[in-house]
Amino acid sequence: MASLKTVVHRGQWLGLVLCLFALRSVSGQARYSVPEEQAEGSFVGNIAGDLGIDVKRLVSGNARIVTKESRQYVDLNRDKGILVVKERIDREELCEKTTPCSFSFELILENPIQLYRVTVEVTDVNDNTPAFPKDEIALNILETAAPGTRFVLETADDPDVGINDIQNYILKPSDHFKLEMQTQSDGSHFVEMVLETPLDREKHEEHTLILVASDGGAPQRSGTARIHITVLDANDNAPVCSKQIYKAEVQENSALGTKNYSGQSF
């Protein structure tokens, strides 16, 4: 069991830390940038050199990182005066689509108390592939649909941001349709498939297309969805006889059921 003196000391230290957070009497600040998904122990920055702190001071001052967040992504190597990655940083988990993405913490030294503010920006890497909500999109289109008719398609999602987000869509094949990517007032996008040439159910009752969504990362990633189109029949064909005129001869007094030369019954 901890002694009363130890408990009091811890309580005083906690109170002092909380006081420092409240007052924000910052002795200096540093800012770093690190790509997401870096391995544990990866170099983040030379905190001692950037803040002008002697490495011996880090050790004697019991330098430590204090964060208000539940996770501590960066650790301090006192002996070298550097910051390193402590655990995996997933930019999408940390910030979702918000940019820029960063987290902050305090570097605290004792005897005398010094407080430094450190901010680490997490940059995006192309670690996500565009994905559609469904693997197959089903459409029923009337064969009398006029060229220019538009069909809004479900778009793919890519958690990455910037150039690593979805940049374009391609439709294969493009015999009857073309794609148009529209931008809304909030900056989001949607995709429309536009009919260019009429459909004919009597020639092709079904069409299968492939919709491809690609990002702009390096290497580029892409996702696909299959579009299955069923062409619905319209009454666009009049009955047509094989001949314009039919002729037949019938003998008078022919009995009911008598067949002519063509095998037709009268």
Same fold, 9-123 and 136-232: yes
Question: Is 49 within 8 Å of 138 (Cβ atoms)?
Answer: no
What's the CA gap between 16 and 168, in Å, rounded?
54
pTM for the model stands at 0.74
Can you tell me whether residue 108 is helix, strand or coil?
strand
Dihedral over alpha carbons 156, 183, 170, 213 (to 10 degrees): -20
Per-residue pLDDT tens over the stretch 185-207: 777 788 999 999 999 999 999 99
Q: Give, in words, the CATH class of 9-123.
A: mainly beta
- pLDDT > 90? residue 210: yes
Please give the share of the chain, as a percent, with pLDDT higher than 70.
86
Per-residue pLDDT tens over the stretch 15-47: 554 444 444 567 899 999 999 999 999 999 999
Domain ranges of the chain: 9-123, 136-232
Question: Is 144 within 8 Å of 127 (Cβ atoms)?
Answer: no
Q: Is 127 left (phi over 0), alpha (psi -120 to 50) or beta?
A: alpha
Residue 118 tokens read as 């450190």
pLDDT given for residue 40 in this prediction = 96
Question: Is 143 within 8 Å of 201 (Cβ atoms)?
Answer: yes
- The angle at the Cα of 257, spanning 253 to 260, to the nearest 5 degrees, equals 75
Q: What is the CATH number of domain 136-232?
A: 2.60.40.60
